[in-house]
Amino acid sequence: MKALILAGGFGTRLRPLSCTRPKILFPITNKPLLDLTLKKLSINGVKEVILAVNYGAETLMSYCGNVRYGMKIFYSKDTAQPHSLGFSSYRPLGTGGPIKKAEKLLGRDEDFLVLNGDILTNLDYSALMQKHRESGGIATIALSRVEDPSRYGVVELKENMRIIRFVEKPSRDEAPSSLINAGIYALSPEIFDYIPETKPCSIEREVFPKLAAKNLLFGYPFQDLWIDVGKKEDYLKANVFFLKSLKKQFPENRRFNADVRIIEPVLIGENTSIGKDSAIGPSVVLGENVQIGIKVSIQNSVVFPGAVISDFAFIKGAVIGENAFIGKHVKIDENCVIGDGAVIKDHLTLTNHVTVCPFKTVSESVFEARCLM
């Protein structure tokens, strides 16, 4: 079985963190999201993976290489377009165009999987493929059941799980069901005939409605874990969820002296140091090589590798980027995001959805939602 992972989006909703790394390499409990996806694909019998890349292509290619978890990895780049400075940049092809672009690599011999790269799920991919083969359709969409469908594309199903229409972001009253497009599809090679060549195209908006009109589109509802890691709040939520689902106390946390308080669940990366009288947790992920000073408090947060959190800092509900420097007595809370390499000077407070761009030095407190560039 082959799988194509859509991996080239700009991840604008996750800026500033996505300014310095592609979204699918964001760490989830200290492992890149892509690794969690690849591991699951390999367990489900996938032998070849095609990464449809654009933004961050070089980073992804050098990280992932040609073989991973026993699967061959291939790359398909969106269409090149000339840049005024002489180099080639790549025109984003959306969620449909990259499938057509990878037609040769996917081949016309067998059905294949297509996944949005930013989804965390426990879906059984082989079961989805099996249902697709039985349906006789061209596409089968994995459908996740959510409490509030108003943020998503909601489907209306008829007999045999046939999808008859999509309603984008309906109000709660208008929603025809609580089943939403989970961004994971089993497709037959005939799909290539429905996608234009080398043009941007949205599979959800331009291709699926055409298949639905011809009774060739089916749904596969599933109950397992499903998190779309597209927004900051969901990124934090995904880390906390995975941390809790690891369902163990972390024995390696005992390496810290009794004068460090660890309130589980907490995951601490290698070579990370924590100063005396600090309280870490609950729901905290610290990457590798993080340095934490004395009397620091961190709750419900993710700290990327190499960050420095100085003495007496207080961090709650925040993401701290790679190699960021947080000064002494700094307070950061309520969904703030600090970009890679940013510096927050001593005694400042950042609160209420403040975001700081990579490598920015912040010298004054900010109390309202703002992006500091």
Catalytic amino acids? 169
Give me the count of residues in the chain.
373
CB-nearer residue toward ligand GTP: 102 or 326: 102
Identify the three-state secondary structure at position 128. Answer: helix
Report in angstroms how near the CB of residue 52 gets to ligand GTP at its nearest. 4
Q: Is the Cβ of residue 60 or residue 268 nearer to ligand GTP in the bound state?
A: 60
Nearer to ligand GTP by Cβ, of 113 and 262: the residue is 113
Asked if 93 and 80 touch (Cβ cutoff 8 Å), the reply is no
Apex 121 CA angle, 120 and 127, nearest 5:
145
CB of 108 to ligand GTP, least distance (A): 21
In angstroms, rounded to a whole number, what is the distance separating the alpha carbons of residues 18 and 132? 34
> In terms of C-beta distances under 8 Å and separation of at least 24 residues, what long-range contacts does 162-171 make, across chains too?
162/137, 162/215, 162/217, 162/218, 162/219, 163/208, 163/212, 163/217, 163/218, 163/219, 164/212, 165/209, 165/212, 166/204, 166/208, 166/209, 166/212, 168/205
Smallest gap, in angstroms, from Cβ of residue 8 to ligand GTP? 3
Neighbours of 173 (CB within 10 A): 6
DSSP character for 269? -
Residue 184: name the closest of 246, 124, 107, 256 by CA.
124
Please identify the residue of the shown chain whose CB is closest to the bound ligand GTP.
9
In angstroms, give the least distance from the CB of 60 to ligand GTP: 10
Q: Which residues bind ligand GTP (CB under 6 A)?
A: 6-13, 23, 52-54, 78, 92-95, 98, 116-118, 230
Nearer to ligand GTP by Cβ, of 131 and 232: the residue is 232
CB of 352 to ligand GTP, least distance (A): 21
Residue 65, number of CB atoms within 10 A of its CB? 8
Strand partners of residue 328:
none
Nearer to ligand GTP, 13 or 39 (CB): 13
Angle at 18 between CA 12 and CA 22, to 5 degrees: 105
